[in-house]
Structure 1
Amino acid sequence: MSYKKIFVIGCGFFALMLVWTFYNAYMPLILGDFIESAAIRGGIMGLDNLLAVLLIPVIGAWSDRLRTRIGNRLPFLVVGMPVAALFFILIPYGAMVTLWVLLVVDIIFLFAMTIYRAPVIALMPDHTPPEKRSSANGIINFMGGVGAIIALFGLSALYGIDRTYPFIAAGLLLLLSFLLLYITVDRNPPYAEPAGNDLSGIQESSPSFWKSLAKLKEQEFRGHLFILTAIFIYFIGYSGVEAQFTIYAVEYLGMEESNAGFTLGFFSLSFVLFAIPAGLIGNRWGKAPVMLIGLVMLPLVFIVIPSAPALSQIIPGINATLLLQILLLLGGVFWAFINVQAYPLVADLGGKKKIGYFTGLYYLFSMASSIIAPGFLGLLMDVFTHPFLFYGAALSFIIAFFLLRKGSQIIKRRKNYNAAT
């Protein structure tokens, strides 16, 4: 495997996470210019992802089958990345006109992101042997985490100067990452094979993708379904916190908008620092066991976060903001335990011939949660109080722990049975 190419692929994920992190942190505040309710703002953020959920799995499967002069993944990047960059730049200008103009620009931006998201992620396993994918995904997540840090530290500072500046900067970086990918990645990568029928009739063609989901209910794929459902459940907690944290910080803690994004950056900072070690730990201990550790520890951090203002009163030399930043640093470590392992675990379920298909499934289940998560956790904030953002998120990780453990046990028993027979 070429580490140079993995780092270049990581640049694609860097730009992806730079844009998504800033979008998720600040789009709710931009919507706040027009809408007061956290639940309604969260609902709009969730509806934005509906298009992505419907199309990303199909596009991922389509990219397994497509054959062109520039390969099977790059055509989607050629279309999606430049358009996404342009319309991301236009978001703050749309907000200067009306809510409806903002929403139209937003939908076009999200559609463009949807076109290239699964193919750009599938480039990693295309260039990496299965036994090295946790390490490679650690590198990819490291690059993505750097993008998130720049979004929440650097772009947040620009946001405090002028709303348009961070959107322009992020759009240009997205264009630059596209050029690097186009020049560097293989047209015929060594670990990609033509799509086949190795999963008992699951088809990867676009018309049959949704029909093939029914296969996951069959006995043979019960473990797969448990794992994918666990990913769906814990992403409710993660996506909800990501989308609603700035609202919690600004409206409940009284932070400045730019400082709210800066504080959330500590979660991404520790994720970046621990992404590559988490990948190495996953290679040694196994992907599912490391994920289970994270699914136990991260909800404990979330449960403590609402008590940060009170705890700061009894801990000498620490104010509420600093304590919150420390807790987010700790939370980012445990998120690395979970997130670095998740995609390689799902990619391995399909073998070499179904990488794009299972990439699509991964994004179907992870992004489907983002349809309901911001609105659901926003509703908890509206009905109860803002701290219920973290209590609801913690519960989702606890439920996911039991689902992932069950799915892993089923798959392990099936592998042992097949080996014995």
Structure 2
Amino acid sequence: MLVWTFYNAYMPLILGDFIESAAIRGGIMGLDNLLAVLLIPVIGAWSDRINTRIGNRLPFLVVGMPVAALFFMLIPYGAMVTLWVLLVVDIIFLFAMTIYRAPVIALMPDHTPPEKRSSANGIINFMGGVGAIIALFGLSALYGIDRTYPFIAAGLLLLLSFLLLYITVDRNPPYAEVAGDELSGLQESGSSFWKSLARLKDPEFRGHLFILTAIFIYFIGYSGVEAQFTIYAVEFLGMDESSAGFTLGFFSLSFVLFAIPAGLIGNRWGKAPVMLIGLVMLPLVFITIPSAPMLSQAIPGLDATLLLQMLLLLGGVFWAFINVQAYPLVADLGGKKKIGYFTGLYYLFSMASSIVAPGFLGLLMDVFTHPALEYCDQIEPLVRSFEPAFAEHRAT
């Protein structure tokens, strides 16, 4: 999470050295996820079937994690050459991350009984949130000193993570079984992941499809905000690059603080009801954020940046309600033999939205930014015209 968070926050700014349009930068960030969407589900299902001396998940970690760490460290150096070198380095980095992403996530349900998976995912999200905080607070400060420093630090930490996992992971975890060539249910229709995907439309799997579709839709909102927030903060709010990443860190901070409580609440109230609370409240927070500068002017002594940070703190709480429950909910659908397969489905639907979201939101920013500002300028005098009436009402 440390690597992904820093990448999502600062890669658009690095691309900004070569590309001015927010839509094109967002489109490139979205296209980065295309490789993941195509391969992660297949690799997740593959990791259910293979059986090696070091288990069925670790082989993917052995290949993917060291290569990803190396090429992540090379990203700022690629940017020093040309855009094309940067993109080649970026694609290799993303391919390496794709190789191990589903297998490393599937390790949690491999080691955890279903009734404890919300709590376990809360702990995982807590640790991932710690990585995000380090990325947005610590690495953002390093970025302000030298652009290469945070990439080197993050790459070394990724290597350390690989070594710790290799040493500690159970080669024969208690809650997973190696699947055969043909899995029951969804994968009976053929050995191909993509052929078996078509069975989601069957009546018996329609509930599965609704859950996965909901994940796709809400990730459009989250991924778009995450990918474009630093651009919004720098180019609209006038923050410097380091402060923009620092401010986004407040979202991750509250997510970390509430990840474990959200998991415990999910165990008690149920995964779906807790997700619904977050899915109602988080959009309300996002809708309020563009009004932060105007709201801060209406409240004496309230700084716009502070108000924005408070809103992001609140948003992180509701994001924990959503995100902590989502993967365990999907993993439970897979039983013991299809954990990797359903992990792949989770990433297929969540990351497919990441292809659409950054470019779509960037296009909205390109098209509507100035008219929206003019509209706000027209609204403010209208609001101020009511102040005498408000004063008279308070007096009476």
Q: What is the TM-score of this pair, normalised by structure 2?
A: 0.92
Asked if 1 retains the 8 angstrom alpha-carbon contact of 2:186 and 2:200, the reply is no
Q: Which residue of 1 aligns with 2:78?
A: 94
CA distance in 2, matches of 1:130, 1:329: 30
Q: Which residue of 1 aligns with 2:61?
A: 77
Asked if 1 retains the 8 angstrom alpha-carbon contact of 2:50 and 2:178, the reply is no
CA distances 1:383-412 after superposition (whole Å, capped 9, x unpaired): 11289899999999999999xxxxxxxxxx
CA distance in 1, matches of 2:239, 2:52: 51
CA distance in 1, matches of 2:270, 2:89: 42
Asked if 2 retains the 8 angstrom alpha-carbon contact of 1:295 and 1:398, the reply is no
Change (3 A) 1:397 1:291: farther
Asked if 2 retains the 8 angstrom alpha-carbon contact of 1:381 and 1:389, the reply is no
CA distances 1:7-47 after superposition (whole Å, capped 9, x unpaired): xxxxxxxxxx1000000000000000000111000000011
Change (3 A) 1:420 1:201: farther
Asked if 2 retains the 8 angstrom alpha-carbon contact of 1:291 and 1:338, the reply is yes
Change (3 A) 1:401 1:254: closer
- SS of alignment partner, residue 385 of structure 1: helix
CA distance in 1, matches of 2:234, 2:353: 24
Change (3 A) 1:199 1:283: farther
Asked if 2 retains the 8 angstrom alpha-carbon contact of 1:296 and 1:398, the reply is no
CA distances 1:318-361 after superposition (whole Å, capped 9, x unpaired): 20000000000000000000000000000011111110000000
User: RMSD of the TM alignment (CA)?
Assistant: 8.2
- Deviation larger for 194-203 or 246-255: 194-203
Q: Which residue of 1 aligns with 2:389?
A: none
Change (3 A) 1:217 1:65: same
CA distances 1:115-157 after superposition (whole Å, capped 9, x unpaired): 0000000000000001100000000000000000110000000
CA distance in 1, matches of 2:136, 2:301: 25
Asked if 2 retains the 8 angstrom alpha-carbon contact of 1:89 and 1:167, the reply is yes
Count of residue pairs brought into register by the alignment: 390
Q: Which residue of 2 aligns with 1:420?
A: 395
Asked if 2 retains the 8 angstrom alpha-carbon contact of 1:377 and 1:389, the reply is no
CA distance in 2, matches of 1:274, 1:95: 37
Change (3 A) 1:133 1:388: farther
What are the ranges of 5 or more consecutive residues in structure 1 without an aligned counterpart? 1-16, 403-417
Q: Which residue of 2 aligns with 1:315?
A: 299
CA distance in 2, matches of 1:55, 1:199: 19
CA distances 1:50-108 after superposition (whole Å, capped 9, x unpaired): 01100000000000011000000000000000000000000000000000000000000
Change (3 A) 1:317 1:399: closer
- Deviation larger for 205-214 or 241-250: 205-214
Asked if 2 retains the 8 angstrom alpha-carbon contact of 1:299 and 1:398, the reply is no
Asked if 1 retains the 8 angstrom alpha-carbon contact of 2:221 and 2:357, the reply is yes
Asked if 2 retains the 8 angstrom alpha-carbon contact of 1:38 and 1:379, the reply is yes
Deviation at 1:313, TM superposition (A): 1.1
Deviation at 1:194, TM superposition (A): 2.0
CA distance in 1, matches of 2:199, 2:326: 21
CA distances 1:245-294 after superposition (whole Å, capped 9, x unpaired): 00000000010000000000000000000000000000000000000000
- Kindly name which structure, 1 or 2, has the bigger radius of gyration based on alpha carbons: 2
CA distance in 1, matches of 2:385, 2:188: 29
Deviation at 1:200, TM superposition (A): 4.7
- Deviation larger for 350-359 or 201-210: 201-210
Deviation at 1:316, TM superposition (A): 2.8
CA distances 1:362-381 after superposition (whole Å, capped 9, x unpaired): 00000011111100111111
Change (3 A) 1:97 1:395: farther
Change (3 A) 1:388 1:246: farther
Asked if 2 retains the 8 angstrom alpha-carbon contact of 1:241 and 1:389, the reply is no
Deviation at 1:206, TM superposition (A): 9.7
CA distance in 1, matches of 2:181, 2:290: 50
Q: What is the TM-score of this pair, normalised by structure 1?
A: 0.87
CA distance in 2, matches of 1:311, 1:388: 16
CA distance in 1, matches of 2:58, 2:186: 25
Deviation at 1:241, TM superposition (A): 0.6
Change (3 A) 1:33 1:387: farther
